[in-house]
């Protein structure tokens, strides 16, 4: 099991592909919303965060890993009840969407799996926080890849960055760091 001396790692389900970390010094209360992950348990993690000086009540954080399925298989994270998930007044949706679109990547050469994410952004008035920085830098990458997205709704004052720490995560994806407002 992974660990970090400054963070508590919060794992989704038993075989979860998604994890979040909370600074050990944080006073925010976290409630896992497994009732909203049915059908996508290991590929989506939903946490309602409150307290600890958080401005404006609570924020729902949705961590997503949308794996590329085999031909004919559904995209698992998309099976969750997104209508119920998005009712929160303030929401952050972040993760590996495995989608390519001009909407968040001006250098996108070939659109792929973009319809779900584009519709989610448009239907819920989400802000795209990504810059032109690549979020996946595989040695064999043939395009400028921004498939890890940071989205928010409800006027969330979100600060995010790509971690500059050299940590071996055994992934070709960058570590995205989001700091919620105090």
pLDDT at 147: 61
d(CA 37, CA 179): 23
Six-digit token string for 157: 């004052």
Torsion from C-alpha of 150, 96, 176, 121, nearest 10 degrees: 0
Residue that is written with structure tokens 């989704």 in the block: 12
Q: Is the model more confident about 143 or about 129?
A: 129
In the chain, domain spans? 7-179
- Residue 89, pLDDT > 60, answer yes
Q: How far is CA 87 from CA 30, 153, 173, in A?
A: 18, 10, 29
Mean pLDDT lowest for which of 5-14, 92-101, 106-115, 129-138?
Answer: 129-138
pLDDT (mean) for 94-103: 84
Q: CA neighbours within 13 Å on the CB side: how many for 154?
A: 16
Q: Is the model more confident about 123 or about 70?
A: 123
The per-residue pLDDT for range 138-176, each reduced to its tens digit, is 555 555 556 678 898 988 877 766 666 555 554 555 566
pTM: 0.82
- Residue 13, pLDDT > 80, answer no
Mean pLDDT lowest for which of 11-25, 79-93, 164-178?
Answer: 164-178
pLDDT (mean) for 107-136: 83
Q: How confident is the model at residue 66 (pLDDT cuts 50, 70, 90)?
A: confident
Task: Please tell me the CATH code under which domain 7-179 is placed.
Answer: 3.60.10.10
Give the 3-state DSSP-derived string for 135-152, with helices as H, strands as E and coil as C.
CECCCCCCCCCCCEEEEE
């Amino acid at each position: 099991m992974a660990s970090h001396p400054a963070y508590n790692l919060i794992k989704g389900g038993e075989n979860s592909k998604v994890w979040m970390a909370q600074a050990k010094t944080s006073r925010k209360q976290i409630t896992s919303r497994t009732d909203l992950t049915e059908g996508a348990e290991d590929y989506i993690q939903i946490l309602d965060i409150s307290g600890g000086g958080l401005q404006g009540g609570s924020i729902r954080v949705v961590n997503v890993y949308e794996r590329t399925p085999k031909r004919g298989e559904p995209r698992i994270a998309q099976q969750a009840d997104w209508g119920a998930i998005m009712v929160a007044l303030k929401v952050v949706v972040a993760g590996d969407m495995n989608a390519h679109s001009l909407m968040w990547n001006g250098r996108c050469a070939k659109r792929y799996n973009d319809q779900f994410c584009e519709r989610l952004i448009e239907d819920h008035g989400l802000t795209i926080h990504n810059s032109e920085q690549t979020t996946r830098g595989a040695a064999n990458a043939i395009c400028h890849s921004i498939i890890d997205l940071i989205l928010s709704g409800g006027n969330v004052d979100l600060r995010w960055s790509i971690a500059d720490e050299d940590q071996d995560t055994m992934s070709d994806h960058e570590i995205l760091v989001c700091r919620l407002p105090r």
